[in-house]
Amino acid sequence: MPDHADQDSNFDAEEAVGIVRTDTISQKSRDVYDGSIARMLKWFFDNKRHLLSEEFIQFGITHGFSKADIRRFLADAPSNAPVKFNDVNVQDFIEWIDSIRKEDGSTPTYSTYNSHRAGIFNLFRDYKQNIVPFQSELKAHFRGIQRTTTQASANGEGKAKSGKDALEFSLYKSLCLLLMKSAKPDYVFTHCFMTYCWNLMSRAGNMTSISWSHLEWRNDALRIFFTHRKNDQFGQRPRDPKHIYANPIIPEICPILSLGIYMLTTPISPTNTQLFPGGSQYDRFRKVLIRLLNTEEGSAELQARGMTTDDIGTDSCRSGAATYVLSGSTAAPPSTAVHLRAGWPLGGVQDRHLPNEAAGDQYVGRTVTGLPMTIPEFAILPPHFKKRSPLVDTMISTCFPNLPTSAVQVAEFALASIVWHVDFLEQTLPSNHRLFFTPLFRDREQLKELKNLVTCRLNSPGDAIVATGVPPHISILQHMELLAKNVNHVVPEIKKVAPNIIRGVIEEIEKRAMPAGTVTEDDLKAVIMSSLEKSGLPQLVQRLGNAPTPDVQQEETLTRDQAVTMTHSWGSHMWGGRLHFVPQDFAFPNGCSQIAWQYWMCGDPQKQYPPLRNLRKDDMPNTNLRKRLSDFRYLMQLIEERVEEKGKWIAHPSIEQANEMFEAGKDILDISDVSEKGRKRRGLQMKWSSMVTQVRNKRKSQRTL
C-alpha cells in the first residue's frame, strides 16, 4: 500500500517550492506581466495560432483571454506551456510588439514597449526556457523602436515627455486641503496615504507593506522602517529609518495630524498588523486620486497649471517630493541624503561608501514636510503634551483601542497634534466628518483640559525633546531674532531718556552760564555728567547690560509699524539759544479731532515732529501757540482718559493702532449734531479747535445745572 504520509509530504514540498518561486517577483510586477502575456497570447491566437499549444487553444475558446483567465492557465507553470517554445522565433515576438497600439490608435511610449518586453522574458523564466538567443535581437530591435518613438515626439506626433508629471508642492497642498474638506471615509484614507507617499518619497506600491511594527517615535520625529522596495526585492539594503516630522504651520499637509485623524476614524484590527489593511489598498488610493482630480475643484487646480488628469499618477508624489526638496530652496539638503531616502541607487562604489546617516535624513524629513526654510520656525517641535498625565493615558486607550504596544508613543503625539489643531479642524472639516463623532470630541470639557496640556513651539532648555535635522542657518536665524527682540526692548527705554538728557543739559548750561555768556570746558563736562547722572542713563545702561535674556518663545514680537514708530529718530531744532523738539515756524495740524489724535500719538516723521504729547510750553515759539498747546492738550487728554478706561491704551502705536484707540475714546466728544440756535453741526468732522470750544461749553453748562 502506498504511504499517504509520504505523498502528503511530497505535495506540501512541491507547493512550498511553487510559493517560493512565485515570490521571486512582486505581486504588482506579476500583475503587469500577466496583462502583457494575456495581450500577446490573444494576438497569437488571432494571427499565429499554430504557435500555441492545443491545450491553450481549447482553454481560450472555452474561457476567453482576460487577464484573470490567462493567470489561471499560467498557474500550472512550468508545465502546460501555452506557447510552443521550440517553434517560436524572435521575429514572431517582434511582429507582436510592432502591432501594439493605444486605444486611440496612436503609438505608445518607449517605456510601454519595454514593459511588454519584460513580460516576454518573464514568460520564458516561468516555463524555464532559454531566453538568451532572443535577447540580442530584441535589444537591437528595441534600439530602433526607441529612435522611432523619439523622432515621432520630435515631429509632434506624440508627447514630448514620458511618464507622469511630478506633483508640484502647491498642487499637493491644494489636493490635501480638498481631501480634508470631504467627509468620505475613502478621502481620510487617501489623505493619510498620500501625505506619507510624499514624506517618505516612496512608491505608492510600497506603502501597503508598512506594518505597525515598522513605526516608532524617537525624540521629535516619527521613524518608519522599510523592509522591501522595488529595487531591493530581497531586503539586502540597510534598513535605516525614514524620519517624518510634524508641520503645525501648514496643518493640511501635516503627516502626524493626518495619521492621527486616520487612527481615530479607522478601527485598528487586532488581527491585522498592516497600517493600511486590505488586499488592494494601492488600487484604492489610485481610484480615489483619479476621482478627486476629476471633481470640479480638482479639475480647476489642474487647469490652472495647464495639466490634465492623465498627467498625475500614483508615483507623482514621490517625484514631486524629491524635486521640491532638491530644487525648492537654495539651501537644499544633500542630494545623497535625498537619493537614499527615495531608494534610488547612487551607482558604483557610492552605494557602498556613502551610507545613510540620521542627520541627513532628518534634514530631508523637515524639508519635505513643508516647513518654511527661511524662518526660525523651521526648527519647531511637534505639538506635544507638556507632561504625561493620567488623562492622556486614558484618552490614548479610549481613542485607540487595539493599539499595538509599540505604537503607544506614536499615538500620544498624534493625539497631541489633533488637540492642538482643534480650531483648524472645526473650521476646515465638514460638521458630519466622522472625526467629530469619536470619543475625543464627545466630551468638550475633557478636550478643553487636554488643550491646556499641549504646547507647540521652538525648543527651550529643559524640554524633554529637542529639535533634530536643523541646519546651521536656522540656528543663526534664531539668534538674530533673539537679538532683534532684545533691541526692541531697549529702544523704548532710550526714547524715554533722550528728551530728559537734552532738557537737563540745556537747563544746566543756562543756569551755570557766566555773565559774559561763556562756559569753560570743565564746566561743560561737569554739566553734562551731572545731567547724565540725573537722567539715570548710567544706571539704565548698567541695568540693560545685566538684564536677563527674554524668552524668545514667550515674548510678543512688535509689529513692523510699531518698530518703525519706536525707532524713528526725531529731529531737534535750535532757536532762541536752545534746543527744541519743533522748529520756530511750527504750526498745529489743521484738521479734525482724529487727525489731531494721530499727531498727538504718532507725530509727523516727514517733518520730524515727535508725538505732540511730548511737547512742553517752552517748545512753543510764541504766546499764541502756547495757548493753542494748552487747548490741544486739554482735548487729547480727555480722549486719553477714555481710552485708558476701556483698556485700549498703547504706548507707542502705529497709525492704524492710533485710529483704533481714537474709535475707543471718541465717545467722550459727545457733541450734539444741532447747535443751540438750531444749526446743523458736522460732529467729529469739525476742526479740533472748534471741538475744544464745544466740549468746554458743554462741560461748563453741565456744571451750572
Domain at 384, CATH number: 1.10.443.10
Same domain, 208 and 326: yes
Contact indicator for 343, 232 with CB cutoff of 8 Å:
yes
Q: Would you place residue 553 in the very low, low, confident or very high pLDDT band (cuts 50, 70, 90)?
A: very low
> In this structure, is residue 646 part of a structural domain?
yes
Would you say residue 566 lies in a domain? yes
Q: Which of 505, 529, 557 is the last residue of a domain?
A: 557
For residues 232 and 201, state if they share a domain. Answer: yes
Q: What's the pLDDT at 230?
A: 52
**Residue 236 confidence (pLDDT) above 70:** no
Question: Is residue 354 domain-shared with residue 442, that is, in the same domain?
Answer: yes
Tell me which of 154, 184, 199 is where a domain ends.
154
**Percent of the residues in the chain that have a pLDDT greater than 90, as a whole number:** 33
Q: What is the mean pLDDT of residues 274-279?
A: 88
Q: Quick one: which H or E segment has residue 265?
A: helix 255-265
What is the pLDDT confidence band of residue 512, given thresholds at 50, 70 and 90? low
135 and 208 together in one domain: no
- Mean pLDDT, residues 299-313 taken together: 93
Residues 255 and 362 in one domain: yes
505/567 same-domain check: no
Q: Find all residues with CB under 8 Å of 270, minimum gap 6, and list them.
A: 402
SS3 content of the chain, % helix, strand, coil (to 5): 60, 5, 35
Residues 178 and 283 reside in one and the same domain: yes
pLDDT at 538: 53
Domain housing 107:
4-154
Residue with C-alpha cell 514621490?
318
Answer whether residue 160 is part of any domain. Answer: no
Asked if residue 349 is part of any domain, the answer here is yes
Residues 41 and 23 in one domain: yes
Give the cell for residue 271.
488581527
More confident: 94 or 496: 94
- Looking at the domain assignment, is residue 331 inside a domain? yes
425 plus 278 within the same structural domain: yes
512 contacts 523 by C-beta, under 8 angstroms: yes
* Residue 164 counted as domain residue: no
679 class by beta-carbon count within 10 Å (0-12 exposed, 13-18 middle, 19+ buried)? exposed
Model confidence over 180-221: pLDDT tens digits?
999 998 999 999 999 999 999 998 888 888 999 999 999 999
- Please determine, for residue 559, whether its predicted confidence score (pLDDT) is greater than 50: no
Residue that wins the pLDDT comparison between 19 and 690: 690
Write down which residue in 388, 423, 455 finishes a domain: 455
Higher pLDDT, 671 or 230: 671
Between helices 358-368 and 335-342, what is the axis angle to 10°? 80
Q: How many structural domains are present in the chain?
A: 4
Q: Are residues 124 and 184 in the same domain?
A: no
The pLDDT tens digits of the residues spanning 518-550 come to 556 666 667 677 765 654 445 444 433 443 333
Residues 6 or more apart whose CB falls under 8 angstroms from that of 342 comprise 201, 202, 318, 321, 322
Q: Are residues 657 and 540 in the same domain?
A: no
Same domain, 245 and 353: yes
Which whole number is the average pLDDT over 264-271? 87
**Which residues make Cβ contacts (< 8 Å) with residue 1, sequence separation at least 6?**
none
Q: Which residue has the higher pLDDT, 490 or 646?
A: 646
**Looking at per-residue confidence, does 439 or 504 come out higher?**
439
As a whole number of Å, the CA-based R_g of the chain is: 39
More confident residue, 520 or 253: 253
Q: Which residues pair with 244 in a beta bridge?
A: 222
Summarised one tens digit per residue, pLDDT across range 651-696 is: 888 888 988 998 898 888 877 666 666 665 666 777 888 888 888 8
pLDDT at site 110: 74
**pLDDT for 704:** 73
- Give tens-digit pLDDT for 27-49: 777 888 888 888 888 888 889 88
Q: What is the pLDDT of residues 569-620, one digit of tens each?
A: 566 677 776 777 888 889 898 878 888 898 899 888 777 888 999 888 888 9
Contacts for 529 with CB less than 8 Å, ≥ 6 apart: none
**In what helix (H) or strand (E) does residue 578 lie, and over which residues does it extend?**
strand 578-580
Asked if the structure places residue 463 within a domain, the reply is: no
| CB distance 172 to 421 below 8 Å | no
| pLDDT confidence of residue 88 | 84
Listed in sequence order, the residues at least 6 apart from 210 whose beta carbon sits closer than 8 Å to its beta carbon are: 196, 224, 226, 274, 275, 276
Which pLDDT belongs to residue 152? 66
Least confident of 139-148, 162-171, 357-366, 420-429: 139-148
Confirm whether 461 is domain-assigned.
Answer: no
